[in-house]
Amino acid sequence: MIKYLSTILLSAVLVSALAMPAVAAPPKPATVTLTDEQRMLFEETLTRDEAKQLADEYLESLTATYVETYKFPPALVELLEADKRVRNIFISALDPARDNITQAAQIFEDLRSIDPERVIKYAHLATAIAVVYDQPAMATREVGIIIWGVAAGQFPPPVAYRDIYDYYSNPPKSRRFAYPPNKLPWPMQVYIIDNGVAAKERAWAHKKFNRGVQVGDLYRRVTYDRDKLAKKKSRLGTRAYTLKNLLRYGGVCGDQAYFASRVAKCFSVPAMSVRGVNRYGNSHAWLGYLTSYKGRAMLHFSGRYLRDYYYTGDVQNPQTGGTILDRHIAMMFDGLSVSYEKYELTRILIRLADQLQADEPDLSVALVERALDANPYMPKGWRVLMAHFRTNELTKAQALKWFNIMLKVLKKHPDMTFECLKTFLASYPQKDFASRRKLYSKALNLYTGRPDLQFKLLLDLANEMVAADQKPQALKMLIGPIVRYAKEGSVIIPATQLAVRLATELKVQKKAHSMLSKALITFPKRRSRNSKPSETYKEFEALLKQLELAAMKR
C-alpha cells in the first residue's frame, strides 16, 4: 500500500524550539453537573441523536471552562466559537490530567496565526502538535528509552514545532505522503509528529530513497552491529546520530526501530518503536506502523520475530509520556476505523460518564452503555463500566451481558477482555471457591492462543488454592502446564517459582524435581547455536537445582 514510502530524515532529539518551557498545569476543572433538561433525556433509552446533543452541550460547557481556567488567547476563542468542527477536535483531545492545557492553547493559537485557513484544514495536525509539544519532553522520551550507547552530543539540535507543522501541511510535499495529514485523525497523528526530523535530513532521505521502499522493509535496512551488542565500540562510534549514518554504520534493535519509525513518520505514516521481552528473557525493540486492510486501519509490525514469542509490546505515548500496550493502540486503530465522528462522540460520552461516575452512577452507566454500543473499541469505556460493576451500580446480570458482548466484538483484543475479566472474577466472594474455580476454568479456555495470559490466570488460581489450604492440589495443577508449555520460557518462570515454593513447604522436592525436569527438554536454552545460555534458562535451571539440593538433604 505504501509503495512509494521511502525513508526520510530523522534526527534524534525533538524538542520544539518555539514551545515555551513546560509549567505545571492549572487545577482540573470541577466535575460537570447536568441540567434538568439534560436529565430528562435519560428517562427512556438514550437515542443516538440525544447522545450527540448531550455530547455537544458538554463540549460547549467544557470549552467555556477551559477558556476561563486556562486563559485561552482571544483569537483562538473566536476560532473555536466560529468553527464547531475545530472546537470539537481540539477540546476533546485535551486531557486536564496529562496535558499542559495553557501551553497547548498557545501552541494552537501560534499555528493559527501563521495561516488561519490552513489551521482549519489541518485541525487534526495542529491538535496533535499542541497536545504533544505542550510538554516537549514527551516527544523525545521514547528516544531516551530505546536508544543506548550514544552520547547526548551526537544527536542533532531540536526541531521547532513550527517546522513540523510547516512540513506536514505543505501541499507539494503531501503528494509524497502515504496518508494525507488533513485527513488523518489526531490520535494517529501523535505517532507522526514526534519525529523531530530536520530539513537537511529530509532532503537526504528523499534523494536517497525517493520511491519504492515499503515501511515493512525499513527495519532491516539498518545492518545489525554485533560489536555494539557485545558492549564493545559501535561502528557508529562518536559520529552524529543521523539517518544517513545509521544506514551506513548500522546499529542494534533500538536503532533499527528508531530509523524505521522515523522514516515512516516522515512520510506521514503513524509509526512507533515497540519494546518487549522474549521467551529467553531478552529485551528487544521492533517497528510498529499503520497499514490498511480492506479499508480498515491496522497496526502492523516489522522486526517482531515470531519465534521469540513477543505476545505484547510497550509503546511510549507521545501525548502523555506514559506507556501504552501495543495491542491497545491496535484497538484504537479499530475504533477510528469505525469513523472519527463516532470515535469522537463515544470518547466524549465516556469522558462525561467518567466524571458522573461518583455522583450520578445511573446516568453514568446509561452514557457508557450508549457509547460502547456505538463503538466498542474504547478501553476507557470498558474500564468505566467495570468500575460501576465493582461498586454495585451494575448488576451481575448486566455485567455478564456486557462481558459476553465484549468477548464477541473484542475477540481480536484479548488483553482488554482479560483486564475486565479480572474485575468480573473479583465479584465472586473468595469463600465461594467452587464458583470461582469454574470461572477460572472457562477463562483459561478463552485464551488458548495466549499462554502469557493463561499463566497469569493459572498463577492467580494457584494462589487462591493456597489461601484455601489446597497446596497439594495447587502444586499438581501447576506442574502439568509448566512442563507442557516449557517452550514459552520466561512466561512460565513465575509459576515455576510458586511450584518450587509449594514443593518445599510440602516436602516433596524429589518428586517435584523429577517431574519439572522434563521441562528442560523444550525450555529455550539459547537463541542461536553460538550464543550463551539465556538468563531465563539459568533461572529455571537454578530453581530445579534448588529442588534437587533440598531433596538430597532429606
Q: What is the spatial distance between Cα 314 and Cα 299, in angstroms, rounded to a whole number?
A: 13
pLDDT of 200 over the 50 cut: yes
Q: What is the spatial distance between Cα 32 and Cα 319, in angstroms, rounded to a whole number?
A: 24
Residue 395: Cβ-neighbour burial (10 angstroms; 0-12, 13-18, 19+):
exposed
DSSP string, 472-514: HHHHHHHHHHHHHTGGGGGGGHHHHHHHHHHHHHTT-HHHHHH
pLDDT in tens, 441-487: 888 988 989 999 999 999 999 999 999 899 999 999 999 999 999 99
pLDDT in tens, 343-357: 999 999 999 999 998
pLDDT in tens, 150-161: 998 998 888 899
pLDDT in tens, 111-153: 999 999 999 999 999 999 999 999 877 777 788 888 999 998 9
pLDDT of residue 26: 45
pLDDT of residue 479: 97
Domain edges within the chain: 44-133, 137-338, 339-427, 432-554
pLDDT of 29 over the 60 cut: no
Q: Please count the other Cβ atoms lying within 10 Å of the Cβ belonging to residue 24.
A: 7
pLDDT in tens, 518-533: 999 999 998 876 778 9
Residue with cell 536517497: 208
pLDDT of 28 over the 60 cut: no
Q: Give the neighbor-by-neighbor strand order of the sheet with 323-325.
A: 296-302, 283-293, 271-277, 314-316, 323-325
Q: How far is residue 416 CA from its own chain's centroid? A: 12
Helix (H, G, I), strand (E, B) or coil at 19: coil
Of residues 399 and 418, more confidence is placed in: 418
State the sign of the Cα–Cα–Cα–Cα dihedral 480, 483, 488, 492: positive
Q: What is the spatial distance between Cα 508 and Cα 272, in angstroms, rounded to a whole number?
A: 49
Helix (H, G, I), strand (E, B) or coil at 169: coil
pLDDT of 547 over the 60 cut: yes
CA-nearest of 183, 133, 174, 203 to 267 is 174
Burial letters 50-71, b for 16+ CB under 10 A, else e: bbeebbebbbbbbbeebbebbe
- The mean pLDDT value of the chain amounts to 88
pLDDT of 16 over the 50 cut: no
* Spatial CB neighbours of 25, under 8 Å, sequence gap ≥ 6: 70, 96, 99, 100, 101, 102
Contact 204, 243 (CB under 8 A): yes
pLDDT of 18 over the 70 cut: no
Q: What is the spatial distance between Cα 144 and Cα 342, in angstroms, rounded to a whole number?
A: 35
Longest dimension (CA), the chain: 83
Taking domain 432-554, whether its CATH number is 1.25.40 is answered by yes
pLDDT of 439 over the 50 cut: yes
Of residues 244 and 3, more confidence is placed in: 244
